[in-house]
Structures are given as structure tokens and as C-alpha cells.
Homo-oligomer: A and B are copies of this chain.
Amino acid sequence: MKILVVNPNSSLAVTQGIDAACAPLRMAGGPQIECATLAEGPPGIETQQHVDGVVAPLAQLVRAREAECAAFVIACYSDPGLHTLREVTRKPVLGISECGILTALTLGQRFGVIAILPASIPRHLRYMGAMGVLERLAGEQSLGLGVAELADEQKTYGRMIEAGRTLRDVRGADVLVMGCAGMARYRNPLQDALGIPVVEPTQAAVGMAVARVRLDWASTRQT
């Protein structure tokens, strides 16, 4: 029983951050959790072209690894290819945006999202509209930083605090979702600083995948 967590961008540092974030979910007797990097991906998924561009290699990867895996997690906050992959395999496929938001709904009444770039926001709004959860959205704020720039810890953390305060104090959020898989290392300090729950979405998705694998809920669908 193995869960394959795929980072659809090609940045190893992001995959390493994801891998560290998954550590607490590795349990004796539980499914193995492997974090992989999509070699064909761009350094960061920052545009709709990036999102649509990784679907084909993701599908190829899922097909190649399907026999040995019990579930897949797409570790990019745009959930690229989620519905294509749910056609490619009947094994559970979870997206971190979907799972991060759903988890936030259990931790507060209005969630805020911290995005990397302003251009991410309309894409996320479309996605949350498709999910039907906009009534619970307090707002979304961007850092104005691309995925690569997230490595600059001081700048990133400062902007996260600022975005988080705006979401909490001006927009009324009582829980936050980190809108990028590359933000994992900032979860604990951000939550401590802001005093409201902060959801790291890869953890949220992998946690749900662990249960899904254990329950052996085949993804039954009418054909």
C-alpha cells in the first residue's frame, strides 16, 4: 500500500518540503508515502498554461505507477488534471486544493487563502465556484511572489503575515489555507503568529488519502 504524492513542478526543494510535511502521516501499519517530482513540470505552476500543461505527463505518471500505488495526491494548489486522473485510474486521486479547503471548513466558518501571485486568484475563484464553497470564502490575498521566490524565507514570511492579517482582520477569515504546496515550512510559525488555524493543504490531502487507502473504498463509478 503506497500513496504517491506528486509535485507537478520540477523543483526538488518543493518536493522536499512536501516530503517533510508528510512525515507525521507515516505510521507503522499505515500506507507508505512517496513524494515524487514531475520532471516534465515547469519550475513552478503559476499560470493556466502551466496547469493545463502538466496534465499529460501527470496522466502518464499515474498510468506508469498505478499497479504499485493505492492512491495519488496531486500536490499543487491548482489541482491540475484532477478530473482527468480520476478517469485514468479508479484508485483514489486527491487534490490538495480541494482537500485543503474542505479541511478548512471544519476549522472555521470563513476561510482565507494565501496565494502566490495575483493571477492565481481568478483561477482559484473559478475552482472554488466549481466546488460550490464560495459562500464560506472570506477572501484571497496574494504574496506577489512566484514559486521560486518562496525560497526567500524572510521576504516570504513577512508577506504571509501581512496577507494573513488582512484576511483575518479586514476580510473576517477565522481559518487560513496556504495556497501553494511550497509554503509548508511556514505553517507552524504563521499559525502561531496569527492565532487562527492554518491548513497546509498537502497534509490535508495526504491525511485523507491515508484513510481512503485503509478503507479500500474503490472509486466505484457508473460506466
Contacts and interface: CB of A to CB of B under 8 A. Distances in A.
A136 interface: yes
A61 to B, nearest CB: 14
A110 B135 contact: no
Interface residues of A, number: 72
A139 to B, nearest CB: 8
Contacts of A29: 27-30
Interface in A91-140: 94, 98-99, 102-103, 105-110, 118, 121-123, 125-127, 129-136, 139
Given A27-B29, A105-B98, A129-B129, A197 B214 contact: no
A122 B102 contact: no
B88 A49 contact: yes
Interface SS of chain A: helix, strand, loop or mixed?
helix
Contacts of A158: none
A181 B215 CA distance: 16
A88 B47 CA distance: 11
Given A27-B30, A52-B55, A222 B196 contact: yes
A94 B106 contact: yes
Contacts of A123: 83
A54 B130 CA distance: 21
Interface stretch (A37-45, A149-157, A205-213): A205-213
Contact of A215 (B84, B87, B102, B203): B203
A16 interface: no
Interface of A: 24-25, 27-30, 47-49, 51-53, 55-56, 59, 81, 83-84, 86-88, 94, 98-99, 102-103, 105-110, 118, 121-123, 125-127, 129-136, 139, 172, 174, 191-192, 195-198, 203-204, 206-208, 210-212, 214-217, 219-222
21 contacts: A24-B216, A27-B30, A48-B83, A52-B52, A52-B81, A53-B56, A55-B55, A83-B126, A98-B105, A99-B106, A103-B208, A105-B132, A107-B219, A109-B125, A122-B174, A129-B132, A129-B135, A196-B220, A203-B211, A207-B210, A210-B210
